[in-house]
């Protein structure tokens, strides 16, 4: 396996040009990042979070690659981060996407044939993360399954849709069509 030399940003930028990108807000315990996350056009964004992908010949397993990143500190200060930056998946509480549309690269691939489609039931849910964030939205599971199956799966991140995020103690609200939730940070899960 080739080692990735992070000092060669120009080479990395060229490799990133062949990937899909989506504008995201990544939330951690006490700060957030807004930027563009990159993933393979052969997979969905959620699949990249739960599995791995290749950047050239390098397998990327534990990190999300983000460009055009802006760090939002708890005191309200904003700081531009040099691109690309590598975000450890374990440290992420959740990632909300601002735009679910794919760029023109993936329009060459018939995604309907790529992913088997399964009808799912929609369940309203409330999630709390260590008293810092509260997420209210929809989870989805097979019609025959109990709702707990969604959070008991082996995947690290689970999807939520139509999500209202409440940041405490400030009680700021932000809405996302799609959020990938890191289940390892989940303190409370309830069906509403």
pLDDT value, residue 60? 86
| Number of folded domains that form the chain | 2
pLDDT value, residue 118? 64
**Within this chain, do residues 142 and 58 fall inside the same structural domain, yes or no?**
no
From 63, 84, 108, give the residue that closes a domain.
108
pLDDT value, residue 103? 41
Whether 174 is covered by a domain: the verdict is yes
* Position 107 pLDDT exceeds 70: no
**Within this chain, do residues 97 and 24 fall inside the same structural domain, yes or no?**
yes
Instruction: Flag the least confident range among 74-78, 82-86, 121-125.
Output: 121-125
From 68, 84, 108, give the residue that closes a domain.
108
Q: Would you give the DSSP letter of residue 73? A: -
Tokens of 39: 């993933």
Average model confidence (pLDDT) for the chain?
Answer: 80
From 51, 83, 108, give the residue that closes a domain.
108
Q: Would you give the DSSP letter of residue 134? A: E
- Which residue in 10, 22, 28 sits closest to 185, CA to CA? 28
pLDDT tens digits for 13-22? 777 777 888 9
Whether 4 is covered by a domain: the verdict is no
Residue 142 belongs to domain spanning: 113-191
Whether 51 is covered by a domain: the verdict is yes
pTM of the model: 0.81
pLDDT tens digits for 158-170? 999 999 999 877 7
Distances (CA, A) of 138 to 4, 5, 119, 135, 184: 38, 40, 15, 10, 19
Bond prior to 84 in cis (omega within 30° of 0): yes
How buried is 177 (Cβ within 10 angstroms: 0-12 exposed, 13-18 middle, 19+ buried)?
A: middle
Q: What are phi and psi of 134, to 5 degrees?
A: -125, 125
pLDDT value, residue 49? 94
């Amino acid at each position: 396996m080739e080692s990735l030399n992070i000092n060669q940003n120009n080479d990395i930028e060229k490799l990133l040009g062949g990937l899909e990108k989506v504008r995201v807000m990544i939330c951690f315990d006490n700060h957030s990042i807004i930027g563009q996350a990159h993933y393979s056009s052969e997979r969905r964004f959620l699949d990249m979070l739960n599995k791995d992908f290749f950047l050239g010949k390098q397998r990327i397993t534990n990190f999300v690659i983000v460009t055009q990143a802006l760090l939002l500190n708890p005191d309200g200060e904003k700081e531009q981060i040099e691109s690309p930056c590598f975000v450890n998946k374990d440290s992420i509480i959740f990632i909300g996407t601002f735009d679910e549309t794919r760029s023109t690269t993936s329009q060459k691939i018939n995604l309907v044939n790529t992913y088997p489609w399964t009808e799912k039931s929609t369940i309203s849910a409330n999630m709390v993360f260590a008293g810092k964030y509260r997420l209210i939205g929809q989870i989805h599971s097979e019609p025959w399954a109990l709702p707990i199956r969604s959070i008991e799966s082996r995947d690290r991140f689970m999807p939520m849709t139509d999500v209202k995020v409440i940041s405490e103690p400030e009680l700021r609200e932000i809405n996302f069509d799609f959020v990938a939730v890191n289940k390892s940070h989940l303190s409370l899960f309830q069906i509403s």
